[in-house]
Chain A
Amino acid sequence: MKKQVHFEDIEVGAEIPAIVKHPTPVQLVKFAGASEDFNPIHFDKDKALADGLPGTIVHGRLKNAFLIQLLTDWVGEKGMVKKIAIQHRGMDLPGHAIACKGKVTKKYTESGQNLIDCEVWTENEKGEKTAPATATVILPSRG
């Protein structure tokens, strides 16, 4: 069982424990089925090339899921992801690692909720942020 993080433990500037994902063509097919996102650019290379893309690309929605997993892993069972805003800036290709990282930008209490604002992003192997995002999470207090 993972240790629960608490509001009191977190300081502005703290890093969120990173996760690294390794999307493969098989994962994109599984995700297409599980998410019902059947845009062929995620599994049909000919169609992707014809659309002007460098090849099949990772679903933006799979990267959403990776970023939200980064947060749900971090906040634990007693925390909750409240908000996330994600921009799809760059394409990721299957066969290349995607690191999900983040850092705390603000810590405050509002309407009785202990809130943490953070920046999170997916990062490709060149260190480019392909899906930058801002998020707000609720953390439990040691109380």
Chain B
Amino acid sequence: MAQSVVTDEMKGWLNKELNRATFDVEKVLVRRYVEAIEDPNPQWKEFMPPSMFTAIFAEGGLVQYPFKTPPKLLDGGGEWEFVKPVKIGDTITAVRKIIEYQEKEGKLGHMLFIIRETRWTNQKGELVAKNRSTSIFY
């Protein structure tokens, strides 16, 4: 087993708010997204496709960690619960924290797994979705 890459600084971030981001669910963002995934469902003219929680509204880009991580990154998947539909025009806020680190040896070498939890609320403060995801750094 190679030496652990989880530092005390990283441990200090466990279960604390890592960051939050507010997104306007704009018509153009949704249109570009459904064009990119090639999903012509007419519902997406009014509602946000739930998979946007697994993509753009998950991260607003890739998560930036306040500490140094190994340089290469793979998406290890995750689980999502969609609690309430989100309409185009809504504003949602994502709050994210790190809940666990794991380390494993694999075919890509020493791998660091960062497990995060995200909760999204809408402009009325209602929970609309929650998630646990794993990022794999190596």
Contact = CB atoms under 8 A, between A and B. Distances in A.
Interface of A: 21, 27, 30-31, 33-39, 51-52, 59-62, 64-66, 68-69, 72-73, 77, 80-88, 131
Nearest to A57: B74
Interface string B105-118: 00010000000000
Interface stretch (B4-12, B55-63, B92-100, B119-127): B55-63
Interface string B52-72: 001110111110000000001
Assign chain B's interface to a size class: 20 to 34
Nearest to B78: A86
Contacts of A36: 55-56, 59-62
Given A39-B73, A52-B108, A68-B49, A33 B36 contact: yes
A23 to B, nearest CB: 9
Contact of B77 (A66, A68, A73, A131): A131
A72 to B, nearest CB: 6
Contact of A68 (B54, B56, B108): B54
B90 interface: no
